[in-house]
Amino acid sequence: MKTKQIQTMTDTDGLEVPIKHVQPYDRNRDKKVRAILARWEKTRKAIEDCMAACIKDLNDLQGERAKLPNGDLGSKGNFSVSSFDGIVHVQIKQNYNTLLDDRSRQAREIMLAYAERIVGKIEGMDGAFLSQVITDTFQPTSTGVLSQGKVLKLLRYTIKDKEWERARDLMYASMLPERGKAYLSVGVKPDRQHDPVNIRLDAADCWPRI
């Protein structure tokens, strides 16, 4: 004689609770939360498949363009292409981060020492102002890295001083380019008089309009 198996649900403590002891709301909550998870995972997989197919198509187009006379493949992994009528635009944008090694710390100390010893104005900048600029430049962002834009802006200052020039050379030598994230955008022009409007694959942007 077969023993009837008792249906259970696992609670947050890992205990197997007979379903008859689980409140109807908790059963329905579990069911709907798992349904949401299933939809989310299915959508994630669909986006991954979509991205893989799009990247393959773009790689194929890059290969074909390379065979054309004066074929322009873009720079640093960037690539853009449009439909024959110019309505649909597809673009890959490759971002790069700039990492700085320990030489940047030495450069910072040299620069701060220079700012402290100058007196009066030098080419429109006094020591206090320059010291603040240096401090801001070497202040990490929320992601723990230095702003590449601020670093390059600081290095573009024209300061004729051997120590400053040594620090500048150290900074340039300390820069290590790192390949960051690549972004794919697909845009469609409402008409030929307007710019493309990107189709955003963003869950927040897909919130139902009530």
pLDDT by residue (tens digit) across 27-49?
Answer: 999 999 999 999 999 999 999 99
Residue 207: inside a domain, yes or no? no
Instruction: Output the pLDDT for position 2.
Output: 55
Tokens of 39: 């939809």
Task: Please indicate, yes or no, whether residues 126 and 181 belong to a single structural domain of this protein.
Answer: yes
For 16, the token pair is: 């197997």
Tell me how far apart the alpha carbons of residues 131 and 109 are, in angstroms, rounded to a whole number: 11
pLDDT band at 12 (very low <50, low <70, confident <90, very high): very high
**Co-location of 175 and 102 in the same domain:** yes
Q: pLDDT digits over 19-31, tens only?
A: 999 999 999 999 9
82 and 181 inside one domain: yes
The C-alpha atoms of residue 210 and residue 204 are separated, in whole angstroms, by 14
The answer as to whether 206 is a domain residue is: no
Q: Do 8 and 81 belong to one domain?
A: no
Can you tell me the mean pLDDT for 83-87?
Answer: 93
Q: Domain end: 48, 73, 98, which one?
A: 73
> Same domain for 186 and 115?
yes
84 and 125 co-located in one domain: yes
Residue 84 CB neighbours (<10 A): 6
- Whether 128 shows a pLDDT value over 60: the answer reads yes
Question: pTM for the complete prediction?
Answer: 0.64
- 121-130, 149-158, 165-174, 199-208: least confident range: 121-130
Which of 92, 53, 50 lies closest to 73, judged by CA? Answer: 92
Q: Are 138 and 59 within 8 A, CB to CB?
A: no
The domain containing residue 7 runs over which residues? 1-73
Residue 100 is given by DSSP the state: E
| Cα–Cα nearest to 100, from 150, 179, 171 | 171
13 plus 92 within the same structural domain: no
HSE-CB for 138 with a 13 A CA cutoff: 20
- What is the DSSP pairing of strand 88-100 with strand 121-122? unpaired
One domain, residues 58 and 80: no
Q: At which of 35, 54, 73 does a domain end?
A: 73
- 42, 73, 104: which is the final residue of a domain? 73
Q: Decide if pLDDT at 8 tops 90.
A: yes
Q: Are residues 67 and 94 in the same domain?
A: no
In a domain, 209, yes or no: no
Domains contained in the chain, number? 2
Asked, for residue 144, whether it belongs to a domain, the answer is: yes
Are 175 and 107 in contact by the 8 Å Cβ rule? The answer is no
Rounded to whole angstroms, how far apart are CA atoms 52 and 38? 21
The reply to whether 92 and 64 lie within a common domain is no
133 & 195 share domain: yes
